[in-house]
């Protein structure tokens, strides 16, 4: 009884809202009202995008992915919310939806598809998670509690301050916070909604079956690449059979629509061309997470040599070189930062490599660029403070260190900032 009361008290604290589910038309008790849902999506999207290694630097592709997504959103149960769709650099096979209609598909998945219909199937499935408000039902308690505890949504911390952990970048921005595992029922419902939306938007429904087959095939061939997608969207044989049966029951004229192949292959050309290089990056990241940088290094070097103007590949190379060949790391980090000015992690790597070499001007510049991409990141403020300290700008440095404590109290970064503040006040 007491436990129940406490439970209710916590719920009350989090302002529960009763909302009508847009798909079922039934009212449900959500901890998150629609305004909150939209705000959460708006706040989290840039951070998730950067924790997925930033947007693929290809405006044509971004516009294309967004356009396909918006066609689905327009025929969905919630056409009025501010939908956004993008393609991110993550080399793993994945796609995810944030509350409020912010959806991302990874480069790893895009590079394995061949038609716009398959793309519409993935985006339609993710759109279904949003229209059915799975997130609102699912994550709210855990998320809102976390957010309440840390005093606001701006709080997301890069988990690892140290060099060697930078390699993995897995939990860099706390992405695991929202991407919980959906239930089987939610997955099935999203498959149904996805199929409904893509068919209504004029695509060939067979694209859904093709997509699920691609995922299943990849899973057999190389489980590691698909694991994260399967973590949040478990794929079973049953899901594939279910999709097949539903598609077969659709009108013949829907299934007879010609698949949209050419525009897809055109827009995805670069992503497909660089697929092997990015598969190596995926493999290298797993090796780095497993603390095997010596095995990751040749893979990263090969990819970077193949695509010399790809700043992201070069930044990973620089990060691994830093402990071994610091001169090369400097050259590579500088070049990567120039070639990928909008990717957060690239700027952070550059700031660290230059800081290590006591080149404070450059370190400061890259930390500031990182701060423009994602403001209020504790570890970036820490880097900025250290660069300022190195430049002898002690007051500015102290201000940055105090900011670290504000953004992320109780973090490793805050403790590090505290040490610097004490040293500064003793000086």
Write the binding mask 218 to 247 for Zn ion: x where contact by CB under 5 A, - elsewhere. ---------------x--------------
Closest separation between CB of residue 314 and Zn ion, Å? 33
Angle of CA points 351, 355, 413, to nearest 5°: 75
Q: Which is nearer to Zn ion, 190 or 274 (CB)?
A: 190
**Complex with Zn ion: residue 118 or 362, whichever CB lies closer:** 118
Restricting to residues 44-73, name those near Zn ion by CB under 5 A: none
Q: What angle do CA 20, 22, 26 make, to 5 degrees?
A: 45
Residues 364-393 touching Zn ion, rule: CB under 5 A, are none
- Shortest distance, position 291 Cβ to Zn ion, whole Å: 32
DSSP codes joined into one string, 215-263 = HHHHHHH-HHHHHHHHHHS---HHHHHHHHHHHHTS-HHHHTSPP--HH
Minimum CB separation from Zn ion for residue 307, in Å?
Answer: 31
When the beta carbons of 190 and 411 are compared against Zn ion, the nearer one is: 190
CB of 137 to Zn ion, least distance (A): 14
Contact 279, 303 (CB under 8 A): no
Show the tokens assigned to 87: 């393609």
- For 112, the 3-state DSSP assignment is coil
Closer residue to Zn ion, CB minimum distance, 77 or 233: 233
Stretch of 145-153, 187-195, 276-284, 342-350 lying at the interface with Zn ion (CB under 5 A): 187-195
**CA distance linking residue 55 with residue 59, whole number of Å:** 9
Determine the Cα–Cα distance for residues 115 and 374; give it in Å rounded to an integer: 33
Residues 188-207 that bind Zn ion (CB under 5 A): 190
Min CB(232)–Zn ion separation in Å: 7
Compare residues 214 and 336 and give the one whose CB is closer to Zn ion: 214
- Residues with Cβ within 8 Å of residue 279, at least 6 apart in sequence: 91, 108, 225
Site residue total, Zn ion (CB under 5 A)? 2
The helix or strand, by DSSP H or E, that contains position 17, with its residue range, turns out to be strand 17-20
Under the criterion CB under 5 A, does residue 77 sit at the interface with Zn ion?
no
Among 7, 25, 24, which Cα is nearest to 16's?
7
Report the residue number, 50 or 190, with the smaller CB distance to Zn ion.
190
Shortest distance, CB of residue 194 to Zn ion, whole angstroms? 9
Counting other chains too, the contacts that 353-362 makes at CB distance below 8 Å and 24 or more residues apart are 353/318, 353/319, 353/322, 353/326, 353/329, 354/330, 355/383, 355/386, 355/387, 355/390, 356/163, 356/322, 356/326, 357/326, 357/330, 358/390, 359/330, 360/387, 360/388, 360/390, 360/391, 361/387, 361/391, 362/334
Total Cβ atoms within 10 A of residue 6: 10
Instruction: Give the span between the Cα atoms of 124 and 356, in whole angstroms.
Output: 46
Stretch that binds Zn ion, among 70-78, 183-191, 257-265, 322-330 (CB under 5 A): 183-191
The H or E element spanning position 119 is: helix 116-131
Nearer of residues 76 and 190 to Zn ion, judged by Cβ: 190
> Least Å distance between CB 230 and Zn ion?
10
Q: Could you say which DSSP state residue 183 is in? A: P
Comparison of 43 and 190: residue with beta carbon closer to Zn ion = 190
Residue nearest Zn ion, Cβ-based: 233
CB nearer Zn ion, residue 231 or residue 259: 231
d(CA 94, CA 88): 10
Least CB distance to Zn ion at residue 234 (A) = 8
Q: What's the closest the beta carbon of residue 4 comes to Zn ion, in angstroms?
A: 32
Q: In terms of CB distance, is 233 or 335 closer to Zn ion?
A: 233
Stretch of residues binding Zn ion (CB under 5 A), selected from 151-159, 186-194, 320-328, 416-424? 186-194
Find the part of the chain contacting Zn ion (CB under 5 A) among 60-68, 154-162, 182-190, 296-304.
Answer: 182-190
Site for Zn ion in 265-294 (CB under 5 A): none
Please give the residue ranges that form the binding site for Zn ion (CB under 5 A).
190, 233
């Amino acid at each position: 009884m007491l436990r129940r009361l406490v439970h209710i008290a916590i719920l009350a604290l989090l302002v529960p809202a009763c909302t009508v589910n847009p798909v079922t038309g039934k009212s449900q008790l959500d901890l998150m009202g629609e305004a909150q849902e939209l705000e959460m999506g708006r706040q989290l999207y840039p951070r998730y995008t950067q924790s997925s290694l930033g947007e693929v630097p290809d405006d044509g592709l971004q516009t294309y992915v967004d356009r396909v997504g918006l066609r689905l959103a327009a025929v969905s149960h919630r056409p009025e919310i501010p939908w956004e769709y993008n393609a991110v650099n993550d080399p793993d096979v994945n796609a995810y939806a944030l509350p409020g209609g912010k959806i991302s598909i990874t480069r790893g998945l895009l590079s394995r598809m061949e038609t716009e219909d398959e793309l519409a199937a993935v985006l339609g499935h993710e759109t279904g998670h949003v229209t059915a408000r799975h997130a609102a039902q699912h994550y709210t308690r855990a998320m809102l509690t976390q957010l309440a505890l840390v005093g606001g949504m701006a709080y997301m911390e890069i988990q690892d301050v140290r060099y060697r952990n930078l390699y993995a970048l897995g939990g860099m921005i706390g992405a695991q916070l929202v991407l919980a595992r959906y239930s089987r029922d939610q997955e099935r419902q999203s498959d149904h909604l996805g199929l409904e939306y893509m068919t209504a938007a004029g695509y060939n429904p067979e694209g859904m079956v093709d997509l699920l087959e691609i995922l299943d095939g990849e899973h057999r061939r190389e489980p590691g690449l698909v694991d994260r997608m399967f973590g949040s969207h478990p794929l079973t044989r049953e899901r594939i059979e279910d999709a097949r049966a539903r598609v077969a029951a659709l009108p013949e004229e829907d299934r007879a629509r010609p698949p949209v192949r050419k525009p897809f292959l055109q827009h995805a050309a670069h992503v497909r061309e660089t697929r092997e290089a990015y598969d190596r990056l995926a493999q290298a990241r797993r090796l780095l997470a497993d603390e095997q940088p010596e095995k990751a290094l040749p893979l990263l070097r090969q990819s970077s040599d193949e695509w010399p103007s790809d700043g992201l590949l070069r930044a990973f190379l620089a990060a691994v070189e830093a402990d071994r060949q610091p001169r090369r790391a400097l050259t590579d980090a500088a070049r990567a930062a120039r070639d990928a000015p909008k990717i957060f992690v690239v700027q952070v790597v550059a700031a660290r490599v230059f800081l290590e070499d006591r080149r404070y001007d450059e370190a400061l510049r890259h930390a500031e660029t990182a701060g423009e991409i994602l403001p209020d990141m504790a570890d970036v403020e820490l880097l900025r403070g250290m660069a300022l300290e190195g430049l002898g700008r002690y007051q500015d440095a102290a201000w940055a260190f105090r900011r670290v404590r504000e953004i992320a109290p109780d973090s490793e970064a805050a403790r590090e900032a505290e040490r610097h503040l004490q040293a500064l006040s003793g000086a």
